[in-house]
Amino acid sequence: MYGLIARRFALGLVTVWLVSVIIFLGVEALPGDACTAILERDAQGEALAACRKAMGLDTPALARYAEWAAGVVQGDFGMSAGGQESIAQMVGYRVRNSLLLAAGALAVGIPLAISLGVVAGLTRDRWPDLLFSTGAILAMTIPEFVAATVLILVFAIWLGWVPAIVLTPADAPPLEFFPEFILASTVLTMLMIAHVMRMIRASVIEAMASDYVQMATLKGVPYWRIVFRHALPNALLPAINVIALTVAWLLGGVVVVEVVFNYPGLGRLLVDAISDRDLPVVQAITMIVAATYVGVNLVADILSLALNPRLRSHRARQR
């Protein structure tokens, strides 16, 4: 089992490394660089050369990659292209805010999604299932920006409970952007519930149709005991990986929702950075998001291994 975890970990590192290469190459391949972005119209002749020399852009690509990667490993993402701000500092609060948003959505969404999924799975093709499943399809299909806009229309404009458009700085205490936080996490929760619920429903239906549930019934096990002791532990195991993907998606900065609500998280910073062609910031955010994605999936894999006796001893025997 430990060997398997070690292997997963190594693969995760390879993935993160590949992301760094892709990002670096991608930025290299783009026309223009940090200097053309800073100097704009003056980006020619000596001014450009001087700037490049000053920023170390005249050294070979491989050397620059090594230097950048070494910095990233130590948590130093360099300076943003625009100002003279340290990226690490700039990103720090955004990460906190995005984490808060994700935590809010997860805290409400996961328990709700699991319960709805289980109820829908157990009442397959009867009214609770039809209600929840249709609701899930609606929630999945309405674009995030539409849901967000409708929420603003209702709560900010018609009801006037929250201000419609605010601009809160990223380093403000969380309470100051509480209204945006509530609306944004509502939209995200809805989306997440829809995806996770559908998966849990299918998994519960599969477990309830299994031979071991039939056997438990014929062993005289009461219905609710079958559900909680026999079906659910098996049905919820595959959910771990789906939930992990959702978590990774949430932590990865949810661009559209953050933009609509002006929420000072990673996603909005990413859009701003791209608009400003602030490539060092784009690189930094990408690395953070990719590492989160890999990390969360790794945790889910380890959790599955620890909780699923079949996976655990199967792998152990193979070794």
Partner 1 sequence: MSGVALSTAGRARGVLRDMMARPSGAIGLTLVTLHLALALTSPWLVPYDYKSMDATGTLTGPSAAHWLGTDHLGRDVLTRVMLGGREALVITGIATPVAMLWGGLTGVWLGLRGGWPDEVAMRLVDAFLALPGILPLLVLITVFGTGGEVLLPTLAFFFGIPVIRVARAAAHEVVARDFVSAARARGHRPFDIVRREILPNVTDTLLVEGAMRWSWMLLGFSALSFLGFGVAPPRPDWGLMVSDARVYMSLAPLGVIAPVVALSTLIIGINLTADALAKTLGLDRSRKAVI
Partner 2 sequence: MSAQPPLIDISGLSVGFRGRSGAMLPVLHEVDLAVCRGESVGIVGESGSGKSTLALAAMGYLRHGLARLDGMARFDGQDMFALAPPALARIRGGKLGLIPQNSGQALTPTQRIGTQIAEALCLHCDHDPATHRTRARDLLAQVRLPDPDTILSRYPHELSGGQQQRVAIAMALAGEPEALLLDEPTTGLDVTTQAHILALLRGLARERDMAMVYVSHDLGVIAQVCDRVHVLYAGETVLAGPARSVLTAPSHPYAAALLAAIPRLGARALPRALDGRPPTPDIPRTGCAFAPRCALATDDCRAAPPPMAETRDGQRARCLYPEKVAPPAPSESAAPGAATDGAPLLSTRALSVRYDSPGLLARLRGTPRPPATVDGIDLALRRGETLGLVGESGSGKSTILRAIAGLLPPAGGRIALADGTDLATSAERRRPETLRRIQMIFQNPDESLNPRQSVGDILAQPLRLYFGLRGQPCRDRAAELLETVRLGAHYLDRLPGQLSGGEKQRVAVARAFAAGPEAVLCDEITSALDVSVQAAVLELLGDLKARHGTGFIFVSHDLTVVRALSDRVAVLYQGRICEAGPTGAVFAPPHHPYTDVLLGAVLAPDPDHAPRLLAEDAVELAPPARGCPFQRRCPVKRGAICETDTPPARQTADGHVIHCHIPLGELHAHDAARAKC
List interacting residues with partner 2 (CB under 8 A): 209-212, 214-223, 229-230, 233-234, 237, 308-310, 313-314
Distance of CA 139 to the CA centre of its chain: 18
In the block, residue with structure tokens 């945790």: 299
Nearer to partner 1 by Cβ, of 38 and 259: the residue is 259
The only residue of 1, 4, 9, 15 in contact with partner 1, by rule CB under 8 A: 15
Q: Which of 190, 277, 300, 301 binds partner 1 (CB under 8 A)?
A: 277
Number of C-alpha atoms within 13 angstroms, CB side, residue 103?
7
Least separation in angstroms between residue 209's CB and partner 2 is 7
Residues 127-166 contacting partner 1, CB under 8 A = 137-138, 140-146, 149-150, 152-153, 157
Q: Which does 229 bind (CB under 5 to 8 A by kind): partner 2, partner 1, none?
A: partner 2
Segment 237 to 276, residues that bind partner 1, using CB under 8 A: 249, 252-253, 255-256, 259, 267, 270-271, 274-275
Q: Does 202 bind partner 1 (CB under 8 A)?
A: yes
Q: Which residues bind partner 1 (CB under 8 A)?
A: 11, 14-16, 18-19, 22-23, 26, 30-32, 124, 137-138, 140-146, 149-150, 152-153, 157, 201-202, 205-206, 209, 249, 252-253, 255-256, 259, 267, 270-271, 274-275, 277, 282, 285-286, 289-290, 293-294
